[in-house]
Amino acid sequence: MKIFDLRSMTVHPHVEREKNAFYQIPGLKARIIELPAGGEMPTCEMVSYVVFYVIEGSAEITVNNEKALLAEGQCLITEPATLAMRTEKGVKIMGIQVNK
């Protein structure tokens, strides 16, 4: 059993995103994503299932051209898809990838 304090984790910029993975086993990866006000995550093709849980803030998530607003405490789960994310005020999210 492992317990993680998501609110206090140090988050690295997108170019160093691999350092943000705090748990990884074959078929599953958990990481923290933090975007500053006005920040965005580039569009990416995900071949895995994805779970996003908003720890702080809010973000607009695009899944296969369908947009949704995710607020603090909300969770999004999607099958493999094309994803993008942007935030007006900043956001801290836990992202989990689960291989198909």
The residue type of 72 is: E
pTM to 2 decimal places: 0.91
Spatial contact of 40 and 13, defined as CB atoms under 8 Å apart: no
pLDDT, tens digit, for every residue of 1-57? 999 999 899 898 877 888 999 999 999 999 999 999 999 998 999 999 999 999 999
Query: What is the b/e burial string over 62-92, where b = at least 16 CB atoms within 10 angstroms of the residue's CB?
Result: bbeeeeeebeeeeebebebbebebebeeebb
pLDDT at residue number 15: 79
Q: Is the pLDDT of residue 82 over 80?
A: yes
Two structure tokens written together for 86: 């942007």
Q: Is the pLDDT of residue 58 over 90?
A: yes
Which CATH number describes the domain made up of 6-98?
A: 2.60.120.10
Which single residue is written with the structure tokens 């998501």?
A: 6
Nearest one of 70, 6, 62, 56 to 32, comparing CA atoms: 6
